[in-house]
Amino acid sequence: MSLRKTNLVQNEFYHIYNRGNGKSQIFLDDEDYERFTKLLYIANSELKFNFRNSIVRNNIDSFDFERGETLVNVLAWVLMPNHFHIILISPRSDLGEKFNPITEFIRKVSTSYSMYFNKKYGRTGSLFEGKFKSNHVGEENYFNYLFSYVHLNPVKLIQKDWKINGINDKNKTIDYLKKYKYSSFFDYFVDSRKYSKIIDRQILPDHIRVNHTRELFDFFENYSI
């Protein structure tokens, strides 16, 4: 299990993230994004799985996979060309030193995706930059900030300096985010889709007041790190 400053514990929110080894891209085309997105759903299960045997040979949609009991509840996620962000919580009582559902979930996603990526592109070695990183989300305002930060992450693809200089055109930015497939932004602010099965909106804290996309900007801009 990953060594951390603090243990990953039950019923606490965490911001999980990792990036490509040497900051290299981990998603090179739509098929790559699609595979990782499917794994966010399939790997969230106690069951062992092999993508080819469990999904391809059974000729089923990944989001129809019978997962059984899940390992974690995912609240938000985003995939970027060379990294990913996930906000999650594990309510399981068996979370401990020998078995950690959070670590197990990320291990299953990362291992399966790395095997897929290396085979597809004929590469070897570690795809990700070491063990995944985790930040405990214990403060209400910090959760609001991270919820905003995760969903605003794709903005850097159209405006690199947004974190420093602010967002130039919020209407244009909202339109872009609504069209960005590989994020839970769509599930919260546009409509339901099969990817919506990844998240558990019922676990969202009561203090989250995000009913309108512009509140994301307010949370981000008003939070002081």
Residues 116 and 43 both lie in one domain: yes
Question: Which tokens go with 197?
Answer: 């099965």
Domain presence at residue 1: no
Range of the domain at 69: 13-134
Residues 38 and 18 both lie in one domain: yes
Residues 35 and 129 both lie in one domain: yes
Nearest-5° Cα angle at 146, 85 to 150:
40
pLDDT (tens, 9 = 90+) of the chain, 225 residues, equals 344 555 788 889 999 999 999 999 999 999 999 999 999 999 999 888 877 777 867 787 888 888 889 999 999 999 999 999 999 999 887 766 678 899 999 999 999 999 999 999 999 999 999 899 999 998 888 998 999 999 999 999 999 999 888 899 999 999 999 999 999 999 999 999 999 999 999 888 877 766 678 888 888 888 765
In angstroms, the CA 41 to CA 65 distance is 9
Residues 29 and 49 both lie in one domain: yes
Domain presence at residue 145: yes
Residues 92 and 148 both lie in one domain: no
Radius of gyration of the chain, Cα coordinates, nearest whole angstrom: 17
Domain presence at residue 4: no
